[in-house]
Amino acid sequence: MRIESISLQGFKSFGEKTRIEFVPGINAVIGPNGSGKSNVIEAIRWATHTARVRELRAGNATELIFHGSQGKSSLGLAEVMLELSGLHRSHLPERLNLARRVYRDGDTEQELLGKNVLVRDIQNALRGSGLGPGGLAAIGQGEVSGVVTADSKTLLGYLEEAAGLSALTHREKQTLDRLVEVERHLEQLELVAAGVRERTEQLNREAETARKHTQYTQELQQLQDAVQWAKHQTLTQELQDLQVQEENLQGSVQQTAADLREVQAKQEELRLTLQAAGVERAEYESTLRLIKNAEERVRDTEKYLELLQLDQQNLLSEMEVLEALAPVEKPTADPVQIEASLRSLKIRLQSAERRLQASENELKQAYAQAQEAAREEAQNATLQEEASKLQALVEQETANLKATEEQLVAVRGLLSVTEEQYRTTLESFETARKNLQVAKSDLSRANNEKAPLERELKRLEVVLNSYARYGEGSRNALNSDIEGIVGSVADCLNVPEEYETAITAALGRRLEQVVVQNAQVAQEIIEHLKRAGGRATFLPLDLIKSRVRPDSRLLTERGVLGYAHNKCPSDPPLISEHLLGDTLMVQDHPTAIRIARNHAQRPRLVTLDGEVIEATGAVTGGKLKDSGLTVLADQRRYHDLQDELDDLDRKADKARKQERSIEESLKKLEDQVRELRLKHQQEKGQEAVLERTLTQAGARRDTLQSQLRSVHSRMHESSGTERFTGVQVLEDTITQIRQEIEVLRAQEQQFTADLHGIREQHTAHQHHQQEMQRLAANREKYQRLQGQIQGYLLNLDNHQRELAAHQSKLASLSRPELLPLEKEYKQLSEQHAAQTRKIAELQRTLENTRLNLARKETQRQELGEVKAPEVLPEGDARRWTGRIQTLERLLMELGAINALAEQEHEHESRRLQTMEKDIQDTRGAIQQIRDALRDLRQDIHSKLFLAFERVKTAFSNYAQELLGGLGELQLEQDENGKPTGMGMVVQPRSKRTRNIHLLSAGERTMVGLAFLFALSEAPEDQRGLPIAILDEVDAPLDEANIRRFTHFLKLLASKGSQFILVTHQKATMEIAHALWGVTTDAKGVSRTFSIKNSDIETFVQ
């Protein structure tokens, strides 16, 4: 077998897909340190499942995935594919493709021939090739020395794998498992057969009971028939007696009924008389009530008629007033048109007044120009007066300008404050919006972080609850669900993270011990483990004792941390006091040594790094297995995850509250921003108005100042103005305008008077219309009242006539006396009641007699036609009844009867015979499996002994050639001669030591290589080592040993072995048939390149 090629993608430093093809013979992988060349060997070991993740320099499987580098992002999976050839298996093709992948979430996949398979499928396919379980074909960096220092059982496993016996050994294990399964099946079958046998005996007893039940039932039926015949005879006699009694009662009832009818006739006659008198008296009283009601209706009608007549009189007076109103005509003119004409006239009047003002101004200027030459002094006085006026106007405009400027300053101050408030509020709004985004981001981040933590918490919960990391016995005990289990020691302890290593070293496998309530619970679990498998140690709380022996002197020593049971308490406390009460925790190993030397009487010492010094002086240290540590770490991680999830929940709640608070603040700030924006716009408008006012006032002041300067300049100028000739024209124009204004004002007064009159006419007309409408409504109301009065007058007349009729009828009626008649009727009623009760009593007796007669008749009918028994049992009916009760009691004691008991007994008997035959066959099969297992073991042992002799001889020779000394392999056997291990004894040249551990690194490497090369002689056909994958095994060798090493490489390669080497040695490169270089590019990704065979020597030089 050899490896044709390997493809890597995302595995460690290989960030891109890389394919390496290997040739038969020697393949060397070279490159600088850190380039990733050892990752090629580790990829082969990982893909073939010959190394655990920790042996590949990784904490877990996901750390094998390419983590990314500068310019290259991380990948989501790591994949390694191998192509093998020359397996020579009947169930496998000549070429074998296998692949293994790991994803970022921790999921893994294995493929064999393109199909997803289990790990054991790949291991079974590679058994005997050196790459299977226990094979030594792949040796990692620095592991060659570990081969020779391995325990004897591991060395024997290397021999079995090299000799091709691992498949047979695996088959032996499968056969043994099958044997255990068949024996368990036989045990279950025997248990079922015992149940069937017991069931058969039970059915036999049930069949006997069924036979007794039949006998008792027949006798009971005979007795019940005799009792029925006796009952029939008795019922016949009772029926005859009841018929005679019925005839006597019927005669008595008929006589009493005749007397009752005579009393009823008298009572009916008196009732009719009494009824006639009652009717007459009722008519008299009814007429009195009718008279009273008629009088009340007459009074009510008269009263309401008086009210209606009063309302009619008032309404008539109001109608007379309304009818006396003079009519008002509707005005023809429209006040809207008059108002429009009046507005147009006012506009014309204002225009004429403005023209008059302008003309008068022009006239004044004309007068001034015309008289300027003659009135120079007067003009100067006038100019002086005008200048004074202008000066006053300038001062007034200046004051107005100043006031406007002060108002503008005040408005701008308010505007500045508003802008500052607006800016501050807007900044607060933006800050709140950003805080809202931050709060939402925090909430989203908390929710996103929560999901993976919850998945990890669930995974840890499943691992901890299933006790998957525990041994078989402890796991089965803790999962047995037997009441009284407290938990494992690890469950009960509370170990801080910094003390996990120390507690793991101090307790070791005792972390898996099971804490129970009492010894009885422990006994129940032990019985359970005998059935389920495994062994475990239990700590019953009623048996274990506290082992605390405090020594205060030790606590004052430097480097002492305290007693372990105080640092790591338990629930219940007795657990830690029992297991850790005599354990003192110290800082480091030197501290422990110092305390051990200074105190002869001292407790057990444990350091934070895991070294343990027993009270006896024994020291334990080294690398800890990770089982217990992982359990404690998982528990701590579980609680840490719970705390982290609680913290995330608090953060999420805080973020939600903050989000709601910020949203409310945003709404308020948004309203404030809207109000401030509106206020800012209003103040801006005021500012613009004041600025326009200020500009206009400034312009007016400038104009006045310009006029004032012009007046001052004219006051000093000589009068040279020409006479103005248009004064007459202006005067005529002014006269015309004034006349026009007078006409317009007269028209305005006329229009105003007309508009006022028309409005009064409209008001009077509307008032008259309203009064006329009220008059019409009053007339309708008057007509309704008139009709109501006529109706009530008619009703009053009817009521008065009805009252006179009732009074006349009452005069014709008399009031009869009813008391004597009622007394006589009462006496007859009492006689009638007495006769009725007597008849009822006789009829009740008659009915009871008839009921008894019917009941007896029914009972006789229910009995049917009872024939007299041919032979009556001995005794009378009373004795027969007693026997019937006895038989019923016996049948009751028999209980439920299985009517099919005999048939089921026959069926179960046949089934039992079949099962007993199956048990015999199973026992025969077990014996056959045991014989086959014995033969297989003999075959394995014989082949193993032969392989051992071949490897032993070859190891002795190779050790002599490689080490220059002696090398010997020793086979360890049990009392039955079964190989249990293999030892190795080596004595280098010129040395007396035979201890492997005292050899140098180079010597151990040569011994390991000698053992590896010797294993190639293990197969019967001695085909040699099929493949060897070595990672820098030649690193500790000197030049001479390297030459010996390369000699053996060439020798074994010539026999067909394939070598894949990682090396830095020039001599090893020289003998390679193919060189693959590994380097790292600028992105930190491993790259490969191949060197042709013809170029190897040039490359090495």
Gap between the Cα atoms of 298 and 803, Å rounded: 9
The answer to whether 108 touches 102, Cβ cutoff 8 Å, is yes
96 — phi, psi (to 5°)? -125, 125
Gap between the Cα atoms of 479 and 514, Å rounded: 11
Gap between the Cα atoms of 27 and 1029, Å rounded: 9
Please give the single-letter amino acid code of residue 794.
Answer: L
Residue listed under structure tokens 């294990």:
173
From the list 1009, 1014, 940, the residue with the least C-alpha distance to 978 is 940
Burial of 111 (0-12, 13-18, 19+ CB in 10 A): middle
Gap between the Cα atoms of 341 and 748, Å rounded: 9
Cα torsion at 100, 102, 108, 113 (round to 10°)? -20
60 — phi, psi (to 5°)? -150, 175
- In 387-498, which ranges are E strands? 485-488
- C-beta neighbour count of 607 within 10 angstroms: 24
Binding residue numbers: 32-39
Tokens at residue 998, please? 């005292």
Q: Using the Cα atoms of residue 523, residue 525, residue 527 and residue 530 in order, give the sign of their dihedral.
A: negative
- C-beta neighbour count of 772 within 10 angstroms: 15
DSSP assignment of 368-410 equals HHHHTTT-HHHHHHHHHHHHHHHHHHHHHHHHHHHHHHHHHHH
The radius of gyration computed from the CA coordinates of the chain, to the nearest angstrom, equals 65
The answer to whether 1026 touches 1017, Cβ cutoff 8 Å, is no
Binding residue numbers for ATP: 32-39
Please give the single-letter amino acid code of residue 548.
Answer: V
b/e per residue 934-949 (b: at least 16 CB within 10 A): eebbeebeebbeebbe
Gap between the Cα atoms of 1055 and 1022, Å rounded: 10
The answer to whether 465 touches 491, Cβ cutoff 8 Å, is no
b/e per residue 518-537 (b: at least 16 CB within 10 A): eeebbebbeebbeeeeeebe
Q: CB-based contacts of 1097: which residues, under 8 Å, 6+ apart?
A: 1070
937 — phi, psi (to 5°)? -65, -40
Tokens at residue 1002, please? 């180079």
DSSP assignment of 679-698 equals HHHHHHHHHHHHHHHHHHHH
Gap between the Cα atoms of 684 and 114, Å rounded: 81
Gap between the Cα atoms of 441 and 288, Å rounded: 97
Gap between the Cα atoms of 102 and 78, Å rounded: 5
The separation between CA 758 and the C-alpha centre of its own chain, rounded to angstroms, equals: 86
Gap between the Cα atoms of 98 and 182, Å rounded: 35
Q: CB-based contacts of 30: which residues, under 8 Å, 6+ apart?
A: 37, 1062, 1063, 1064, 1069, 1075, 1076, 1077, 1078
Cα torsion at 1074, 1080, 1083, 1086 (round to 10°)? 50
Q: Compute the 3-state secondary structure of the chain and give helix, strand, coil in percent, each to the nearest 5.
A: 70, 10, 20
